[in-house]
Amino acid sequence: MALAPQIKLKQGQQLAMTPQLQQAIKLLTLTNIELAAFVEEQLESNPLLERGTGTENRREDGIAVKQESDSGLSELDLNAPSAAASDAMDATESQLNADATAADIEADNSLGGASVGGDVDWSKAGSGGSFSGNNDYDPAANTAHEITLNEHLTAQLAMAIHDERDRMIGAYLIDQVDENGYLRTDLIELADRLGVDVNRVKSVLTILQTFEPTGVMARSLSECMALQLKERGELDAPMQHLLDNLEMLAKHDLQALAKICGLSVAKLGEYAERLRSLAPKPGLAYGSDMAGVVEPDVFVHERPDGGWAVELNSDTLPRVLVNSRYYAEVCGSTKDEKVKSYMSECSQNASWLVKSLDQRARTILKVSSEIVKFQDGFFAYGIDHLRPLNLKTVADAIDMHESTVSRVTSNKYIATTRGTFELKYFFTAAIASMDGGAAHSSEAVRHKIKILIDEERGVKSVLSDDKLVKLLQNHGIDIARRTVAKYRESLGIPSSVQRRRIINNKQ
């Protein structure tokens, strides 16, 4: 058979990742803060989008859709009576989930589909009631400006260094300082980046390390403390040895550390007490960029009948409207095809955004409701009753793809009577039971380990990892020693040897 180029027809199916589909995927993963910023950008760029007030087209219950209203806005009002939602919502979601699942499987776990469009009012979505509070007071806007560490150091730089090149090096070094006041950048790499000799960078750094707050611009904890002790005139040879061996102090190995420093154990305790008076993170004394406050996406509270009500936080859900009247007026008054094409594109984008926001909210509510249903023991009795859970269990229960559940639970928070948790907190690994019964949640086991160690009262009662394994097995938990050690370390609990040293030193 001769080899030659040929033309053949081949039929196949392929899912195209349209910009709208990509947007729907992106919206699922956004936090409520990022979502608000994204919607603001869309409001500025799309003339057909308007901000909703949350009071448009209110109805007693169900889903009411109104097109071409008196205001010319396309509206949607969702007042679902329960966490399971109404039959109308279920019918809509079934279609959405079918589309979403197909997109997830075929396009690297993507999410597709759309729902009814318009403005979504979530003030009564979920299990009834509302957590909406229309407060116009903004604490951040009414807070006086606090000088940041970068501003404080930059002001000192202008006074301390007059050479233009050295000042530029100093400014660059200051930009590399983290909020704790530490310089985490390698000096050799930094010198190569700036094209200067490393010794010149070191000389500038030496000047910067004299700035206030004392200890700033240090490259390690020991250097930070050394700068503070040097200013006090307390940096002698034994103290320098102590700073060089801080890890031994952290392990409470005082006998060996005292020998290295040439001090008695009692005198070493006095030196360690001086270290406690220092500021390990001097930069925190100054302001920094305001940290984002975690605002829950979902609320859970107990119902009178003993069940759990799941409600969306309406304050975190942006409300947008599509101004169909303005679209009709512009398209009806112009013959310019470019204008009509532009307005048509804006209309499609606006409608899709509203639908995507609607679907995102519905999906969050549905996933959260299933998690609460599965982990009802945690909400009622505490962490000991947390059950093993994975993405597939929730995905199968609500007929969605695992990747969709994963996106929905990332950076989404739920406020409960026991605190605010990320939705992913409730997904824990399973640890087998000794009697072959129900498996135990890894988070619940971790909590049991902490309780057992907290009950230690003396050197003789300190529990080794092997003893912890036996105690957990007595509770019906089949667990390996290495797993106990891993959980203990994740809780920041020292080993049994270190805990004995701590108790001996206290005595």
Clarify whether residues 344 and 434 are in a common domain.
Answer: no
The helix, strand and coil proportions of the chain, stated in percent and rounded to the nearest 5, come to 50, 10, 40
**Domain annotation covers residue 246:** yes
Do 63 and 117 share a domain, yes or no?
yes
pLDDT at 136: 46
| pLDDT average, residue stretch 464-473 | 88
Do 230 and 126 fall into the same domain?
no
Give yes or no: residues 27 and 112 share one domain.
yes
Two structure tokens written together for 311: 């409600």
Of residues 51 and 82, the one with the higher pLDDT is 51
Range scoring the smallest mean pLDDT among 126-140, 175-189, 290-304, 375-389: 126-140
The reply to whether 153 and 281 lie within a common domain is yes
Q: Which among 353, 320, 367, 423 is positioned nearest to 22, based on CA atoms?
A: 353
Confidence of residue 439 (pLDDT cuts 50, 70, 90): confident
| pLDDT (mean) for 28-49 | 89
Final residue of a structural domain among 285, 308, 341: 285
Q: Which pLDDT belongs to residue 506?
A: 65
Q: What is the pLDDT of residues 145-164, one digit of tens each?
A: 567 888 888 889 888 888 88
pLDDT 10s digits, 416-435: 988 888 998 898 888 877 77
**What is the pLDDT, as a whole number, of residue 149?**
86
Tell me the C-alpha distance between 222 and 218, whole Å. Answer: 8
**SS3 sequence, 9-35?**
CCCCCCCCCCHHHHHHHHHHHCCHHHH
Q: Do residues 163 and 85 both lie within one domain?
A: no
Q: Are residues 65 and 122 in the same domain?
A: yes
Interatomic CA distance for residues 88 and 80, integer angstroms: 10
Which pLDDT score, from 0 to 100, does residue 207 have?
Answer: 92
Same domain, 171 and 202: yes
Query: Mean pLDDT across the stretch 440-452?
Result: 86
Domain with 172, as residue range(s), is 149-285
Instruction: Work out the average pLDDT over 481-494.
Output: 88
pLDDT more than 90, % of the chain: 11
Is 66 part of any domain? Answer: yes
Q: Is residue 101, in this structure, part of any structural domain at all?
A: yes
Residue 108 confidence (pLDDT) above 50? no
How would residue 2 be classed by pLDDT, with cut points 50, 70 and 90?
low
pLDDT at residue 1, as a whole number = 54
5 belongs to a structural domain = no
The answer to whether residues 323 and 440 belong to one domain is: no
Instruction: Answer yes or no: is 368 within a domain.
Output: no
Confidence of residue 314 (pLDDT cuts 50, 70, 90): confident
Asked whether residue 204 falls in the same domain as residue 263, the answer is yes
- The CATH number of the domain holding residue 451 is 1.10.10.60
267-276 contact pairs (CB < 8 A, 24+):
268/242, 271/238, 271/239, 271/242, 272/242, 274/229, 274/234, 274/239, 275/225, 275/242, 275/249
Residue 321 included in any domain: yes
- What is the C-alpha to C-alpha distance for residues 244 and 464, in angstroms, rounded to an integer? 30
Average pLDDT, the chain: 77
Between residues 80 and 12, the one the model is more confident about:
12
Q: Which of 330, 360, 390 is the last residue of a domain?
A: 360
Residue 69, pLDDT > 70, answer no
Domain boundary among the residues 285, 302, 336 is at 285
Instruction: Classify residue 399: in a domain, yes or no.
Output: no
Please report whether residue 293 resides in a domain.
no
Residue 370 has pLDDT above 80, yes or no: yes
Distance CA(293)–CA(393), nearest Å, equals 31
Residue 114 pLDDT > 70: no
Q: Where are the alpha helices (DSSP H) in 375-420?
A: 376-381, 391-398, 402-409
Q: Does 121 share its domain with 153?
A: no
Nearest of 140, 285, 283, 134 to residue 221 by alpha carbon: 283
What is the rounded average pLDDT of the residues 317-338?
Answer: 87
Residue 96 predicted with pLDDT over 90:
no
CA distance 404 to 111: 7
State whether 162 and 124 are in the same domain: no
Number of domains in the chain: 3
